[in-house]
Structure 1
Amino acid sequence: MANKLRPPAVPLATIDPYFSIWSNANQLHAAETIHWTGATHGMVGLAVIDGKVWRFMGGYDRRSDFKSLNAPAMQQTDLTIKPLSSIYTFEAGGITLTVNFTTPLLLDDLDVMARPTSYITVKACSNDGENHHVNIYYDITSELAVDVPIQEVVTSRNRLEDGSQLLQVGTEKQEVLKRKGDMIRVDWGYATLVIPDGTAATTAIGSVDIRDQFIEWKTLPETDDQHFPRAVDHDMPILASVLDYGEVGVKEVSNYLIVAYDDVYAIEYFNKHLPGYWARNGQSFEDVVLASIREYSVITEKCNRFNNEMIANAKEAGGEKYADILALSYRQAIAAHKLVADENGEILFLSKENNSNGCLATVDVSYPSMPLFLLYNTELVRGMLRPIFQYADSKAWPYEFAPHDIGRYPVAEGQAYGMELKRQMPIEECGNMLIMTAAVCWAEQSTSFASDYWGLLQQWANYLIEYGMDPGNQLCTDDFGGHLAHNANLSIKAIIGIASYGFLSGWMGNEEGVEYLQKAKEMASQWESMARDDDHYRLTFDTPGTWSLKYNLVWDNLFQLNLFSEDLKKKEVAWYLRKSNPYGTPLDNRKTYTKADWLIWAATLAEEKTDFQQLINPIWDFLNETDSRVPFTDWYYTIDGRIAGFKNRSVVGGLFIKLLADRMDEPK
């Protein structure tokens, strides 16, 4: 087992569910870069060192209609994953090359976080004491701007007011917001390569043959290809640049590029087209790119500082492997959302249920992802909840319990999961909404957000009192396991949901708060007697010999409710340790698969740090050893490390629960 994490896939440029580029190879030059869906979203990087061309990124494709590049690969000597950065190091020809992919998803600065721009910084220095002449070639393909390669694209080039170069490619038809679903890519807007002013560079727009021509001649064509529009799979158009580093000695020389995407409009929100948050006040794409250039030094310094602080906090909370897990999770969790503002200027932070069904703003996806956002900006949790409250309060929602979603990404038009009763998750979603609202208020030390939606919260709390103690046959967030009656873990969620309403009500000065808290306490006592199964607690109340991860219990600790006994939690943790497999403890007794988010929630119940580490370290082993080379999957088998389903989902934000628990345990 390696001491340094080998990620199953490395985030490179990760902004939102559509603009999302990864490498799923051990070496950056061993395969084409991809979109999280697996479709090729190609980028190629070449280094010319004293006249010899070396490849450091991409350049290989299994499809017979695209050529592999005839350039030797540099030796990749290191890869470091940080929350905001993926940093590769290469050596060849007496030069050390450091390639830093940084997407500034700074949650305390939403203007910067929402920008559709990602930095690629390439640094070169001599490692043999001699001077070497260095050029860096970098390109992106038109694959970034289409869903399928038969779509036709057009290209353009422009200069910003500061002199920076913009090369762009997008579909000819520009059918904005006409496509919705899961395993698809954006086919409107414009993929953009930005070369900042002051960079000694040449650029070209042409076919993929530019790469081979550059390897042979070391220069780009003097004129752009004019044969547009044309399909991506016909002489695939690319946007190319060459940066001249001059003579490079032992002193490091640095340049950067920006990869960006102008999506024009991002979300259709109940018949209203909303741009990305970055454009909410009429800012142009060019304005945002200019700001990204102007603030490069300040932003990258903030990113470096955040990287170091978050990693240090994670190590203190759970050890080095926990820090690695969180570093790999951070960008994925954020970039599985789109940030927009509604017509009132209020934030909507909308998840896409990636590689599941593409649902928009799914409640039981927001619930597990919430810990990351509670830690760094509670306004984003408000932004998850607002669309659900608004939809549930409309005539379009017919049920007395909370909805599951508001549509299929990127179109909000009502629940997409299904409207028939058998497709609902009534206990699940009511409990989620109550707990999430309480968590926002707890983190902010204010009940103002809850008061805006008090009628719905009361309605859902009463629903849980009536139906939550012993849930009927229904789905929960673990719907891949099918319908389940008498679900003990789901009952915990109902009980904590009722208590959440109770403490919020009491906090607001309402006398009924005491009644709801007392009811939750009575139900918790009843739960312990109904679920007890010798040295652990059951999966379902009516089935002896069963068990499951009781991950919902974590909120009893975080909210300091003390509804459930400490002895119960100790027994459960001991059971999870006993049932752990090479890659973690299964979700329940029915299958050997687990959910990484729920496993870390369950591990957070442990009183001893060593027990927490023993439960979560197998997740690190899974990431390091799995043959399923996809962005962090939350659902996998604990025996052989195979993916069971799901990739690149926002729920990995839930892995931050231990950091959140440590913070919430601090005196208020």
Structure 2
Amino acid sequence: MAAHTLYLWTAGCEFFIFPVKHYLHIMKKKLTTALLLLASACNLVNGQVKKAPAYPLITHNTYFSIWSMTDSLNAHPTRHWTGKDQSLIGMIKVDNTTYRFLGKDMPAFTTVLPASDEMTYKCQYTETEPAKDWQEVKFDDAKWKTGTAPFSDDKKQAKTLWAGKDIWVRRTFTLNDLNIDRLFLKLYHDDNIEVYLNGEKIFNTVGWTSDFKMIPLKDKFKEKLLKGKNVLAIHCANTAGGAWLDVGLANEPKAKSTGVLLAKQKDVTVNATQTIYDFECVGVDLKVTFTSPLLMNDLNIFARPVSYVSYKVKSNDGKNHKVKVYFGASTGIAVNTPAQEVTTQKYLTQSLSILKAGTVAQPVLQKKGDDLRIDWGYMYVAAPAAENAVQYVTPQSDAVNSFTGQVINTSSKVTKGRGLVLNTVLDFGNIGGTAKDKFVELGYDDLYSVQYFKQNLKPWWKTAGATIEKELTTAATDYAAVMQKCDAFNRSMYNAALKAGGKNYADLCVLGYRQSIAAHQLLKSPQGTTLFLSKENFSNGSINTVDVTYPSAPLYLIYNPVLLEGMLNGIFFYCDSKAWGRDFAAHDLGTYPLANGQTYGENMPVEESGNMIILTAAIVKAEGNASYAKKHWKTLSTWANYLSENGFDPGNQLCTDDFAGHLARNANLSVKAIVALGAYADMADKLGQKAVAQKYKAIAVDMANRWQKLADAGDHYSLVFEKKDTWSQKYNLIWDKVLGLHLFPAQVYKKEINYYLTKQNEFGLPLDSRKTYTKSDWIIWTASLADNPKDFKALVDPVYKFATETTSRVPLSDWHETKDGKMVGFQARSVVGGYFMKLLETQWVK
């Protein structure tokens, strides 16, 4: 111990180091002050994370997932993880003053010129470059073709097929009303575009969109609109990938003053199952808690698609105040695009008051892809009937005023329309110094969640005959018990992560917990097995991608390995079928939500076969028996044989880091094959197949020895065999350590860790020597190879810095640039479950 340093140990914390003079200064204060200082230094007791790139509010599955993407809850509309607005509004009325604490009013656009999502329209077009004055009003386009929007190369969605490079479009329209406050261009384009209004260029950009964007136009362009005939002229160039063109115009009317003030946000804390905000208003303090009770030890609660929004109100000035709280949920939660019409219903059960909304069309499982929201099934807002909540439906434009009192008639029955709001008002009565609590529930019944080899599957919670009303009722009845369970889990999870890796590591685990789970859907297969199917969010939209399951696995191995089985079961089923027919594992089951077979364009034989074998071995270790391996032994043996022949020195193929491109002789991919063969041998031994175990253990040991020679680059091991000027994170090595295979000596881990510490940038360790970007999940795996807390912390702290300082305000990206901390791609993916690798290593490696 240093002569001038005091080491303190705090319950649930690490050692904290204080200079003696600082300690003596503390001792001069009152004991309570000293304790407060100590708690401040630690700030760990309740497991509260204070900063996130985006804050989870409602998190159940990839379709039912709502976030706040600013540090202040009332600074911006709440959004789906894709970034599309899914507005939740919260207000509190204290006596006669109204404050907004949740969300923000979304622009209420009116149509000037409808795009095709609102109304079918035709226009003139050509794919041959026209004369220079093609954009002018007087240009003669009579010889052009007539087409219906949208124009696209997508044969299923295009009204006019556009498969060439360039298209020129002229849309002539008539306006009688020029009363426009702020003009917007409503545009969906792929790729580069230039837009003219009555001959003048109003917009151009390079790139593409994956949906309509509302683009504000300068006031001078509004003046270009004429009463009578007008022309929009567009040139779009298809430079890469898909092609799409659709256009309209919209008006944003001037917002009317509502007289609503902003509540002062004093604090925000995030834990595993909750996000908690504290607000101050004149006379009253308000605590708002969003709870998605994703408790993996109770799948009945875990699978229930119901979140709580809880309110605790207390006087802060010693006086009594009349208080009402408002909660508004946009029907945008139940649509893919704002133009879709919805229908609503208000009804009562014995114990609940309920509002319900869903699209009129109900296109169940008719859309697949990445950047999509659900537009089938129904959203629900429920409140206990005993609370006498007032519930009603309004257009979006009337929602706020319905609570402030400027729109009085809340009894009118709005049952159908676009952009509606489900409104709930809770009356707290007179509030004094004793806090009062109330809550509402937000739920979603998707009717059918996934199509699994041509059969539509209901969500797991419906397989026993439950209805959404029963789920809402049970959730309300069990509210107090569920909140206690969540609190207990939040603490235990945080304390375990804290002990394993320190504060910054534990905070990362908190940020990863709900995000990882909410990228999955829990179901039962027609064969009765558990399915826990992921969506490859903002990557390519695949369902049940094996190399997304692989990094996600540590979280589920710790808390419920049955869920990891649910990630593997569908792949085993598919690979055992005649539809697959290959001697290596598939990459995916399709494109979400259609799990009818692989749709990814290229196989990853070594990657996916190694992943499946390693994860099966991990399940065997987690469950303490080899029954799961025995069930799939024939298939596992086929894959092991493939790896024994092709895995050691891989050919020019992709690995999970496919964004980095093809790579032959990938040393890290070779490690995966070697570890997988060692894991296969270990499972064979547990199944009593001693000869098989001996054979494959010998193969794995021989490969590991040869690997050390081929990958040797002096002070590190190379990215590519026999290229000493390259390097890479060998994150696959962690399974050799975690599964206790001992194929590689500890000095291999040590040499790599020492080298990595010399290659770090401000926001983390690059993935390899090719680029400066990284994958944060792999950094945690790599750091878990360290044999001491100091080195682990040195590698993890830059990841924490990225998570808390990035300017990319989206649900945590796992692919970011290490020099500036910005996301490169991917967001809201399940792979952040891989952050739990250090906790898994701590629990499994003794």
TM-score interval, normalised by the smaller of the two chains: over 0.9
5 Å-filtered alignment, 1:228-307, equals 228-230=415-417, 232=418, 236-307=419-490
Aligned counterpart in structure 2 of residue 557 of structure 1, from 722, 729, 737: 737
Q: Which amino acid aligns with 1:540?
A: V
CA distance in structure 2 between the aligned counterparts of 1:607 and 1:370, rounded to whole angstroms: 22
1:141 aligns with 2:186: no
CA distance in structure 1 between the aligned counterparts of 2:588 and 2:384, rounded to whole angstroms: 41
CA distance in structure 1 between the aligned counterparts of 2:406 and 2:727, rounded to whole angstroms: 64
Percent of residue pairs identical:
44
Unaligned runs of 5+ in 1: none
Which residue pairs with 1:435 in the alignment? Answer: 614
CA distance in structure 2 between the aligned counterparts of 1:259 and 1:216, rounded to whole angstroms: 23
Report the structure, 1 or 2, having the larger helix content: 1
Q: Of the two, which has the highest radius of gyration?
A: 2
Which residue pairs with 1:320 in the alignment? Answer: 503
Query: Structure 1 residues 220 and 622 mapped into 2: Cα distance closer, same or farther (>3 Å)?
Result: farther
Determine helix, strand or coil for the equivalent of 2:101: strand
Which residue pairs with 2:658 in the alignment? Answer: 479
CA distance in structure 2 between the aligned counterparts of 1:211 and 1:595, rounded to whole angstroms: 42
Which residue pairs with 1:105 in the alignment? Answer: 294
Which residue pairs with 1:49 in the alignment? Answer: 94
Any conservation in 2 of the 1:71–1:215 contact (CA below 8 Å)? Answer: no
Which residue pairs with 1:665 in the alignment? Answer: 845
Any conservation in 2 of the 1:202–1:220 contact (CA below 8 Å)? Answer: no
Residue by residue over 1:378-415, the C-alpha shift from the partner in whole angstroms, topping out at 9 and shown as x without a partner, is 10111111100000010110321100001111111110
Q: Which amino acid aligns with 2:754?
A: A
Which sits farther off after the overlay, 531-540 or 56-65?
Answer: 56-65
Unaligned runs of 5+ in 2: 1-40, 44-48, 110-251
Which residue pairs with 1:86 in the alignment? Answer: 275
CA distance in structure 1 between the aligned counterparts of 2:746 and 2:463, rounded to whole angstroms: 48
Aligned counterpart in structure 1 of residue 578 of structure 2, from 395, 416, 438: 395
Determine helix, strand or coil for the equivalent of 1:532: coil
Residue by residue over 1:492-512, the C-alpha shift from the partner in whole angstroms, topping out at 9 and shown as x without a partner, is 000001111101001111121
Determine helix, strand or coil for the equivalent of 1:166: strand
Determine helix, strand or coil for the equivalent of 2:288: strand
| Offset at residue 199 of structure 1 (A) | 1.2
| Offset at residue 242 of structure 1 (A) | 0.8
Residue by residue over 1:14-65, the C-alpha shift from the partner in whole angstroms, topping out at 9 and shown as x without a partner, is 0000000000011000000000000000000001011100010112436754
Which residue pairs with 1:543 in the alignment? Answer: 723
Aligned counterpart in structure 2 of residue 495 of structure 1, from 653, 658, 674: 674
CA distance in structure 1 between the aligned counterparts of 2:306 and 2:586, rounded to whole angstroms: 34
CA distance in structure 1 between the aligned counterparts of 2:470 and 2:320, rounded to whole angstroms: 39
Which residue pairs with 2:265 in the alignment? Answer: 76
Any conservation in 2 of the 1:210–1:220 contact (CA below 8 Å)? Answer: no
Query: Structure 1 residues 218 and 614 mapped into 2: Cα distance closer, same or farther (>3 Å)?
Result: farther
Bigger RCO of structures 1 and 2 (CA < 8 A, at least 6 apart): 1
| Offset at residue 597 of structure 1 (A) | 0.5
Give aligned pairs, total: 655
1:213 aligns with 2:396: no
Any conservation in 1 of the 2:108–2:396 contact (CA below 8 Å)? Answer: no
1:171 aligns with 2:359: yes
Any conservation in 2 of the 1:46–1:57 contact (CA below 8 Å)? Answer: yes
Any conservation in 1 of the 2:354–2:380 contact (CA below 8 Å)? Answer: yes
Residue by residue over 1:130-165, the C-alpha shift from the partner in whole angstroms, topping out at 9 and shown as x without a partner, is 211111011100100100111111001121232x11
Determine helix, strand or coil for the equivalent of 2:619: helix
Determine helix, strand or coil for the equivalent of 2:323: strand
Aligned counterpart in structure 2 of residue 156 of structure 1, from 342, 345, 352: 345
Any conservation in 2 of the 1:635–1:645 contact (CA below 8 Å)? Answer: yes
CA RMSD of aligned residues (A): 1.4
1:183 aligns with 2:363: no
TM-score calculated relative to the size of structure 1: 0.96
| Offset at residue 209 of structure 1 (A) | 2.8
Q: Which amino acid aligns with 1:531?
A: A
Aligned counterpart in structure 2 of residue 343 of structure 1, from 522, 526, 529: 526
CA distance in structure 2 between the aligned counterparts of 1:461 and 1:121, rounded to whole angstroms: 51
Any conservation in 2 of the 1:117–1:289 contact (CA below 8 Å)? Answer: yes
Aligned counterpart in structure 1 of residue 390 of structure 2, from 177, 202, 205: 202
Report the structure, 1 or 2, having the larger strand content: 2
TM-score calculated relative to the size of structure 2: 0.76
CA distance in structure 2 between the aligned counterparts of 1:657 and 1:433, rounded to whole angstroms: 17
| Offset at residue 598 of structure 1 (A) | 0.3
Determine helix, strand or coil for the equivalent of 2:386: coil
**Structure 1 residue ranges, 4+ long, deviating more than 4 angstroms after superposition:** 66-70
| Offset at residue 220 of structure 1 (A) | 5.8
CA distance in structure 2 between the aligned counterparts of 1:497 and 1:454, rounded to whole angstroms: 14
| Offset at residue 211 of structure 1 (A) | 2.8
Determine helix, strand or coil for the equivalent of 1:485: coil
Any conservation in 1 of the 2:285–2:314 contact (CA below 8 Å)? Answer: yes
CA distance in structure 1 between the aligned counterparts of 2:813 and 2:676, rounded to whole angstroms: 28
Determine helix, strand or coil for the equivalent of 1:198: helix
Which residue pairs with 1:615 in the alignment? Answer: 795
CA distance in structure 2 between the aligned counterparts of 1:467 and 1:577, rounded to whole angstroms: 32
1:33 aligns with 2:78: yes
Aligned counterpart in structure 2 of residue 643 of structure 1, from 823, 827, 832: 823
CA distance in structure 2 between the aligned counterparts of 1:265 and 1:216, rounded to whole angstroms: 39
Any conservation in 2 of the 1:594–1:635 contact (CA below 8 Å)? Answer: yes
Any conservation in 2 of the 1:21–1:34 contact (CA below 8 Å)? Answer: yes
